[in-house]
């Protein structure tokens, strides 16, 4: 298979693309892949490091308010479609896939104009602007949440789950926690606000440190690089117990995930895919700063199944954090119930299922 794939801007768009590529390489080792992104996006650092052929086009998003900058955006989009046309003619893909972000809009739209089979993948419960636009032109659409189905042309939709789940589902508990000074035989909570961190989660956790040091469970608190030094400078060393370890960032987070009894963090699509694939109970604090509040809708899909608890950021403080965390970390039966409910929602074959969709559109 010759696969051209595009997704950029955030890890939530990039990691599913990488998971799909990995599944393709396992199934068809001789496949050729070209990833199209932007120079400034996160994908420009992540994708080439994976040894994947990578090209860029220049594009930007529309301003939500009236702005002259939007005229420039229209011009860039038209040029990016033209640039994508040239890449497509040079690469001759069998199928073109978009996993989200403005860059995928230009690439997938250009492919549809050339009548090349096209597939988009929507990771969230609320369909993004780019995928809503592309849904009218593509051959098939993969979704990760059933809530997204009604927002799209239903005849094109296939429920696949998030390919990221496939990458983590096979990881087993290990002794990786010991590398961070934590015990491997003590229930452990991960507090993690995403790669850049979450200020409200961080402040609530810092306030809770004097109480957390007295608990029988342990905590790995990942602040995000941006916030780490400020937090460490502000902490009173006497408040920090030996059962709490603070780190700015963990590059190999998937390797650690099976070792946590519970997670408190955001409700992004990648996080949801990972915790359901592994069956980890969670306390979800959706970011209120994302488009259409889609993280809250993501979280509610787990809450409805008994797989997670929802703690809105507006209600998050030191007291509520301790209340929610204690209720989960001191009740093993509750954790087991929530973990089983999360596992039932997991889609460990998501990458293969999406790959099957690609093969079906090629055969047509």
CATH number at residue 253: 3.40.50.2000
Residues 221 and 340 in one domain: yes
d(CA 325, CA 262): 9
pLDDT of 286 strictly over 70: yes
pLDDT of 248 strictly over 90: yes
Residues 300 and 353 in one domain: no
**Which residues does the annotation place in the binding site?**
10-12, 124, 195, 250, 295
Residues 120 and 184 in one domain: no
**CA neighbor of 272 nearest in space, from 145, 128, 122, 99:** 145
Domain that holds residue 122: 2-164+349-363
Residues 115 and 223 in one domain: no
According to DSSP, the β-strands at 308-310 and 118-122 are: unpaired
Residues 341 and 354 in one domain: no
Phi, psi of 187 (to 5 degrees): -55, 130
Residues 101 and 218 in one domain: no
Residue the block writes with tokens 């998050």: 316
Residues 34 and 71 in one domain: yes
Residues 157 and 130 in one domain: yes
Residues 249 and 356 in one domain: no
d(CA 335, CA 68): 52
What pLDDT, on the 0 to 100 scale, is given for residue 3? 98
Residues 279 and 137 in one domain: no
Q: Please write the tens of the pLDDT for every residue from 156-198.
A: 999 999 999 999 999 999 999 999 999 999 999 999 998 778 9
**Which residues does the annotation place in the binding site for UDP-N-acetyl-alpha-D-glucosamine?**
10-12, 124, 195, 250, 295
Q: Please write the tens of the pLDDT for every residue from 37-60.
A: 998 888 999 999 999 999 999 875
Residues 8 and 95 in one domain: yes
- Say how many CA atoms lie within 13 Å of 318 toward its Cβ: 8
Q: Please write the tens of the pLDDT for every residue from 16-31.
A: 999 999 999 999 999 9
Residues 330 and 316 in one domain: yes
What's the domain count of the chain?
2
pLDDT of 70 strictly over 50: no
- Residue 83 in contact with residue 64, Cβ under 8 Å? no
């Amino acid at each position: 298979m010759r696969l051209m794939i595009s997704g950029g801007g955030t890890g939530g768009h990039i990691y599913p693309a990488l998971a799909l590529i990995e599944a393709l390489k396992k199934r068809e080792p001789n496949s050729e892949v070209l990833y199209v992104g932007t120079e400034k996006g996160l994908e420009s650092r992540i994708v080439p490091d994976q040894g994947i052929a990578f090209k860029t086009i220049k594009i930007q998003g529309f301003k939500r308010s009236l702005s002259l900058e939007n005229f420039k955006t229209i011009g860039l989009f038209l040029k990016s479609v033209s640039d994508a046309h040239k890449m497509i003619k040079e690469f001759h893909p069998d199928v073109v896939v978009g996993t989200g972000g403005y860059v995928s809009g230009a690439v997938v739209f250009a492919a549809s104009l050339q009548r090349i089979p096209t597939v988009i993948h929507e990771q969230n419960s609320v369909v993004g602007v780019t995928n809503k636009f592309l849904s009218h032109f593509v051959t098939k659409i993969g979704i990760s949440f059933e809530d997204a189905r009604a927002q799209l042309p239903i005849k094109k939709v296939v429920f696949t789950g998030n390919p990221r789940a496939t990458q983590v589902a096979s990881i087993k508990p290990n002794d990786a926690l010991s590398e961070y000074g934590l015990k491997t035989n003590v229930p452990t909570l991960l507090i993690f606000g995403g790669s850049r961190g979450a200020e409200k989660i961080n402040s609530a956790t810092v306030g809770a440190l004097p109480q957390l040091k007295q608990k029988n469970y342990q905590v790995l608190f990942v602040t995000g690089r941006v916030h780490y030094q400020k937090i460490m400078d502000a902490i009173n060393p006497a408040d920090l117990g030996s059962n709490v370890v603070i780190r700015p960032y963990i590059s190999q987070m998937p390797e650690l995930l099976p070792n946590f009894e519970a997670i408190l963090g955001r409700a992004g699509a990648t996080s949801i895919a990972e915790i359901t694939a592994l069956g980890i109970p969670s306390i979800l604090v959706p970011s209120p700063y994302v488009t259409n509040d889609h993280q809250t809708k993501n979280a509610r899909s787990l809450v409805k199944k008994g797989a997670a608890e929802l703690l809105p950021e507006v209600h998050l403080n030191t007291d509520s954090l301790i209340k929610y965390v204690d209720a989960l970390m001191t009740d093993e039966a509750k954790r087991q119930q929530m973990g089983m409910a999360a596992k039932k929602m997991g889609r460990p074959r998501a990458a293969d299922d999406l790959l099957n969709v690609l093969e079906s559109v090629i055969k047509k």
